[in-house]
Structure 1
């Protein structure tokens, strides 16, 4: 399975939401693939207003978050454009606090899920099993000028530098370079364009657009566009056995 996340879909789906706890934000869908509990890759963007707080919570699916714009903090860590965070299923994290310009971030999952379970009220919904939080260093998207000036590909390790799961790393590629990425594993692989252009068999993907590739697949031959490419690779772990029985 290969799925595409597009800016066109995001523009068509952007809407305002208010949660039961009063948290107000805008949300847009960047990738939709149904609601299958095992495989339905999903990406959406949350635009959190300045100085607002999203309380600590957990989800029932593994997820990555990639910060797009603004500034703020996730727990005790500062976050900004290009920051990557991973939270495993049933793993609490937060709060998410937006700075003076607000904060926007992508939530990325291999399977569709609805809603957040806020702590401590939802503590009774937590389940026994492995818990995992991982934070990558700040890794801001490169400018087109920086990409055009590259003489050779560069790779930056963000999470799981030893090849363990979860894994997140970024590739910086000169114009028209071949994109060489291992086959997807676990619950699949997301490729998110931070800057430049990804020329893939299905489409030309630009800033913040994305692809999902199912485990065991390579996704075909891809190249950087005429301005180069800054590409984020997110390897989603398989769901822990302890949680599979809950589906």
Structure 2
């Protein structure tokens, strides 16, 4: 199937949540599926978290591989304090620990994107017995260079489609930026080549099913689909195309 969610509509349903790891109160938005799950269900799972100023997310792992996009604010990740500037792409295999994530004084916003709904409950390294819940994994925890977006006239008047690779693996995992001028179209990756993919609107808007989807909207293309055409709206489009490993199909 192909799923789509308007970012403005999703954000209109933002709620207050409490971090299960720290007890801190911040904000959460659900795009697809439940916010957290402990069993498999049909369809993708995508959530946004908006952290308070200087809030920390303690080290943990999940049972489902995911891309994570740091899209607003500022922060750091890991014991070395690697900077998270918008927009940064991260890929983490299932059962791969990461953190801490520390928000800066202006807060930090990130989106977790999973191709399917599975065991996404966080397992904290501070919990006794966490090692018993680990399973074999490639243990990749990859972070991209910062993605820079165009000003609107440059994006709108782009004459050619441009693709840029951010992260890539030997199992079909591939994170790219695609840039299109106003009204331009391009074929997305072959869905059956790997585990399907997300198209996340980082700048401009995308047209899907007769609807114009604005910034921070997303489309999910499962690997059962024959193909997907990416179409820019009148402003042009700069989107993240996030392809999942073959074993995530």
* Structure-2-length-normalised TM-score: 0.87
Q: Distance in 2 between matches of 1:33 and 1:213?
A: 19
Correspondence list, 1:172-187, <5 A: 172-185=179-192, 186-187=194-195
What CA distance in whole angstroms lies between the structure 1 residues aligned with 2:233 and 2:62? 36
The yes-or-no answer on 1:48 pairing with 2:54 is no
> In the alignment, which residue of structure 2 is the partner of 1:234?
242
**Matched position secondary structure for 2:188:** coil
Q: Paired residue for 1:149, among 157, 178, 181?
A: 157
Q: Which moved more, 1:225-234 or 1:182-191?
A: 182-191
Residue 88 (structure 1) aligned with residue 96 (structure 2): no
Aligned counterparts of 1:65 and 1:211: Cα–Cα separation in 2: 15
In 2: Cα distance, 1:115 partner to 1:127 partner: 14
For the pair 1:104 / 2:109, whether they are aligned, the reply is: yes
> What residue ranges of structure 1 are gaps of 5+ in the alignment?
none
Other structure's SS at 1:145 match:
helix
The equivalences for 1:187-206 within 5 A come to 187-201=195-209, 203-206=211-214
Where in structure 2 are the equivalents of 1:16-95 lying within 5 Å? 16-20=16-20, 21-32=22-33, 37=40, 39-75=42-78, 76=80, 77-95=82-100
Alignment partner, residue 135 of structure 1? 143
TM-aligned CA deviation for residue 39 of structure 1: 4.1
Which consecutive aligned stretches of 4+ in structure 1 deviate over 4 angstroms post-superposition?
Answer: 33-36
The count of aligned residue pairs is 240
- The answer (yes or no) to whether the contact 1:81–1:141 under 8 Å persists in 2 is no
Structure 1 vs Structure 2 CA RMSD: 2.4
1:153-183 per-position Cα deviation (integer Å, ceiling 9, x unaligned):
22221111x7753210001111111122122
Shift of 1:98: 0.4
Between structures 1 and 2, the one with greater strand share:
2
| Counterpart Cα distance in 1 of 2:228 and 2:245 | 21
For the residue of structure 2 that corresponds to 1:123, the secondary structure is helix
Query: Which stretch of structure 1 is more off in the superposition, 115-124 or 90-99?
Result: 115-124
